[in-house]
């Protein structure tokens, strides 16, 4: 039961971290981004919600746009960030004791 609490708290903290915006450099094969393009991203410690330059308005990323498919989720960063928040949550509860 405690572990479920840790998972829920970690997920809540991770979603709260999407209020912090940052810029990431992406490289793709499109003509304008071969040398790298700056793109808006959300999430800590590794940004996991990225602005999609093709579907969503420029420099706008949000949770609702991710849910509708207008922006993208980078799953590797999502999982690593979630593990970070789980470790932090467990550590905080262990320090409290």
pLDDT over 70 at 56, yes or no: no
pLDDT over 80 at 28, yes or no: no
pLDDT-based confidence at residue 79 (cuts at 50, 70, 90): very high
pLDDT score at 88: 92
- CA angle 1–76–25, rounded 5-degree value: 140
DSSP state of 13: H
Q: CB within 8 A of 9, min separation 6: which ones? A: 85, 89
Q: What average pLDDT does range 64-77 have in this prediction? A: 84
Q: Which residue has the tokens 């980078």?
A: 74
Q: What average pLDDT does range 46-69 have in this prediction? A: 78
Q: Packing angle between helix 2-16 and helix 75-96, nearest 10 degrees?
A: 120
- The pTM score is 0.80
Average pLDDT over the chain reads: 83
Backbone φ and ψ for 77, nearest 5 degrees, come out as: -65, -35
Whether the upstream peptide bond of residue 45 has omega within 30° of 0, thus cis, is: yes
Question: Percent of the chain having pLDDT more than 90?
Answer: 27
pLDDT score at 31: 62
- Alpha-carbon distance of 47 to 91, in angstroms, equals 22
């Amino acid at each position: 039961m405690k572990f479920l609490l840790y998972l829920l708290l970690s997920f809540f903290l991770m979603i709260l971290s999407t209020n912090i915006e940052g810029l990431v450099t992406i490289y793709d094969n499109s003509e304008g981004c071969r040398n790298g393009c700056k793109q808006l991203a959300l999430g800590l410690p590794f940004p996991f919600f990225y602005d999609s330059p093709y579907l969503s308005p420029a420099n706008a990323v949000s949770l609702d746009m991710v849910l509708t498919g207008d922006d993208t989720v980078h799953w590797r960063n999502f999982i690593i960030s979630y593990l970070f928040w789980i470790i932090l949550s467990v550590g905080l509860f262990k320090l409290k004791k």
